[in-house]
Amino acid sequence: MEYNELEKIRVEKIHRMRAAGIEPYPTRANVTHTCRAAIELFESAEAKGDPTLPEITLAGRLRSIRPMGKLIFAHIEDGSARLQLFLRVNEVGENKLEELSEYYDLGDFIEASGTLFRTRTGEISLRVNTFRMLAKAITPLPAAKDEIVDGKVVRHATLSDPETRYRQRYADLAVNPEVRQIFRTRTAIVRALQEFLDKNDFLEVETPILQPIYGGAAARPFITHHNQLKQDLYLRISFELYLKRLNVGMFDRVYEIGRDFRNEGVSFKHNPEFTQLEFYMAYADYLKVMELTEQMIVHVCDKVLGARRFPYGDHVIDVTPPWRRLELRQGILDVTGIDIDQHPTAESLAKTMHAKGMNFNPNYPRGKLIDTLLGDYLEPTLIQPTFLYDYPRDISPLAKAKPGNPAITERFEGFIAGMELCNAFTELNDPLDQEARFIEMGNTYAEDDEERNPIDIDYLRAMSYGMPPIGGFGMGIDRLTMLLTNQRTIRETILFPHLRERDE
RNA sequence: GGGCGCGUAGCUCAAUGGUAGAGCAGUGGCCUUUUAAGCCAUUGGUUGGGAGUUCGAGCCUCCCCGCGCUCACCA
């Protein structure tokens, strides 16, 4: 490590401490209370009018030091709260007090023992008898100074450069409590989803991340290699094909929450690895899944936010069921005036889109053109929760056709705040139809198109054993977290988002 | 990958093409109820990297690196 001038001063302090017989990194800490527990202890004792308070020991990072000669005010912060230390020469002694100004810096982890009281300004504080270093920090925290206004911490000139925040997330988290809150919420979201699905008799399972054949989505994979087996493997792009194998194996309701990997562009709503929830429910169809989706999102909002209405950007989103249900064809007709049913071929649709001055890839098949209309014109208008349903067959190779209309599949996507949140369908469980679709898909992609999924023979074999009717569902956890924490980029909901490698 | 923008002290930010600065942090002092404590003094820079134009470049030009926004891409 190369240390800068500020850091070298602190390294020097470490050496001077050791020379003075003080260990800057003692092995054990002796903590009796978190800061939060200490505050609660004092408040309840105060409410009972109980003047006897035990001596307690707290630990945390030094976040402020205000020396006033023979009296020093400081704040420590642990994972629970921030608490003021009151260090007076009367209690700690002259030598010990000098030790503080001699060796201690903002950011150091320390331990302090004493009794709680209120200062003249009314702040609950620890009257410190003794204290000790727990872990000396060398690099200064990237926060200039904090102020406490009405009990809330106001930070001045704190770390805000996004690049540094993402690359050094530890420093971001250490100084920006609202960032910590996003990730607490994220975990609460996952817990609430698990709770909901468990309650509905779903079994949480884990399926392979390293796969010999990738599938279940149209995306380019990451490729890796197993040395001993001399075999290329792919990092999964979805869980779908493995989870439905489990339905064949008589697990009627299964779900998985885990990581998908897609070797594609990075943007405010795309990270190369992202967290997905997929569930598969035997004897259900997409209408059943729609209802379950509403209930599930409402459950999460109730649990995590305690509300069914929440702000996102300039909007207030209301997830109270029932959500709007809009046929894809009707939705596109409403916003573009194009009736896709009047254009059964890509040529016809492209001609009309061209006539309207729309921007699109002229080489796209019909399904992808429809997807363009959806993404460019319809999706941005879907602010309040909306289910778009009945998608064209050729962009839905794993979805079952609508009875009586082989060109349409029973599929829906959920949109909130102009963003695709989830994707679900009545699963195709006819092995002969599935094989035909795979072959059809293979033909629509060029030989070298990496989005062209290789045919998964084993999946077809599983289906051949008999696959029950299934309603399937997938949702991005990162995007759901964006919604519920009012964040504009996916990077704010991923602890360590991928950034380009940088020479150090 | 294309377009636009940004990169200055540890952090947040200034600086007409003309001596690189402030606040906080740091360092040395004073101060026994402060809370961005205060007061006095003081250190700190290859202005992301490289090349060019110019008497002179943080500023203008080009190349490179990184980040942001956006388009493309993305079931």
Q: What is the pLDDT of residues A193-202, one digit of tens each?
A: 999 999 999 9
Q: Which of residues 364-383 of A touch strand B (CB under 7 A)?
A: 371, 375-376
* CA→C1' distance for A496 and B48 (Å): 23
pLDDT for A449 equals: 56
Give yes or no for residue A463 having a pLDDT over 70: yes
Rounded Cα–Cα distance for residues A78 and A489 (Å): 28
Give the pLDDT band (50/70/90) at residue A62: very high
Nucleotide nearest to A157 (CA to C1'): B12
pLDDT for A144 equals: 73
- Reported as type and span, the H/E element at residue A5 is helix A5-19
**Which two structure tokens, joined as six digits, stand for A282?**
């035997």
Residue carrying structure tokens 């903002």: A106
Rounded Cα–Cα distance for residues A257 and A237 (Å): 13
Rounded Cα–Cα distance for residues A486 and A492 (Å): 10
**CATH architecture observed for domain A5-158:** Beta Barrel (2.40)
Percent of all residues in chain A with a pLDDT value above 70, rounded to a whole number: 96
Q: What is the pLDDT of residues A168-187, one digit of tens each?
A: 999 999 999 899 999 999 99
Domain ranges across chain A: 5-158, 180-323+384-493
Reference A244, options A428, A408, A410; nearest CA is A428
Reading phi first (left if > 0) and then psi (alpha if -120 to 50, else beta), residue A306 is in left
Q: Which of residues 159-188 of A touch strand B (CB under 7 A)?
A: 159-164, 166
Nucleotides of B under 7 A from a protein CB: 1, 10-13, 23-27, 30-38, 43-44, 65-75
**Which two structure tokens, joined as six digits, stand for A476?**
């991005």
pLDDT for A432 equals: 94
Q: What's the average model confidence in pLDDT over A440-450?
A: 62
Instruction: State whether the beta carbon of A395 lies below 7 angstroms from any atom of strand B.
Output: yes
DSSP A145-205: EEEEETTEEEEEEE---HHHHHHTHHHHHHH-HHHHHHHHHHHHHHHHHHHHHHHTT-EE-
Nucleotide nearest to A219 (CA to C1'): B74
The interface predicted TM-score of the complex, written ipTM, equals 0.89
* CA→C1' distance for A348 and B9 (Å): 63
Q: What is the pLDDT of residues A213-270, one digit of tens each?
A: 888 888 888 888 899 999 989 999 999 999 999 999 999 999 999 999 998 878 888 8
Residue carrying structure tokens 């489990």: A246
CA distances from A36 to A42, A45, A76 (A): 10, 14, 12
Give yes or no for residue A191 having a pLDDT over 90: yes
Amino acid at A6: L
CATH class of the region A180-323+384-493: alpha beta
Measured between its terminal Cα atoms, the distance across chain A in Å is: 11
